[in-house]
Amino acid sequence: ASSGAIEHVGAWMAGGKPPFGFKPEWRDAIQARQQAYRDWVKAFGLGHCLPGAKHPLGWHHQLVCRGTALNFVGLNSAWLAGDKHDTQNLLLTEDQISHLLFDGNGKRLDSPVVVMLHHPFRDIADGETAHRLLAESGVGLVLHGHLHDPNFERWQQPDRSGPFQAAAGCLYLSNTYPNCFQ
């Protein structure tokens, strides 16, 4: 699909007309593949963390504790995942990021932001663009999964600022990889 079509993927996933190059039946297949995740989220009482209100792929939830707000944003890097060979075929899309990390006027969220997604940016076709948009939006921490080794790094922007990125952790029943968390 063209990058122009990707700009409208949110409207399509919410029930609108498919973007150029997309087939209508793909939406049903994407939603069916992710149903187990939505069921799990509901079962744990986290319905407020389901995609939908701000964007049909990801979610945003603001937690206020003792008067301090913290934004949690879930970006869906797995909506195009289908097999073990999907590296560089996955997309976050500017559409998803802009709807979840900026308000309707293009203004950044005004309190700290933690972004969570499954895949590391190197596995995502538009990872470089997503990386730039997250840095511009003021994200402080990015947690991702998918890796079997712990890692932690700071993105270096030209002004030496940028969010921290960490593999969120892993738990295994075998000794193939060490259990870890960040």
Residue 28 confidence (pLDDT): 92
* Cα–Cα distance for residue pair 119/116, rounded to 1 Å: 9
Tokens of 121: 């940016």
Q: What is the pLDDT of residues 31-82, one digit of tens each?
A: 998 899 889 889 998 888 888 878 888 999 999 999 999 999 999 998 988 7
Q: Which residues contact 70 (CB under 8 A, 6 or more apart)?
A: 62, 63, 64, 111, 112, 113, 114
pLDDT on residue 1: 45
End-to-end Cα separation, the chain, in angstroms: 36
Residues facing 17 on adjacent strands: none
Stated length of the chain: 182
Provide the whole-model pTM: 0.81
Per residue in 86-123, pLDDT (tens digit) is: 778 899 998 899 899 988 788 888 889 999 998 888 88
pLDDT tens-digit profile of 120-178? 888 899 988 888 888 888 888 888 876 655 565 555 555 555 677 777 666 666 666 66
Confidence of residue 20 (pLDDT cuts 50, 70, 90): confident
Kindly provide the b/e burial profile for residues 147-177, where b requires at least 16 CB atoms within 10 angstroms of the residue's own CB.
Answer: beebeeeebeeeeeebbebbbbebeeeeeee
Are 95 and 8 within 8 A, CB to CB? yes
Dist. CA 14–CA 11, nearest whole Å: 5
Residue 27 has pLDDT above 50, yes or no: yes
The Cα–Cα gap between 89 and 111 comes to: 32
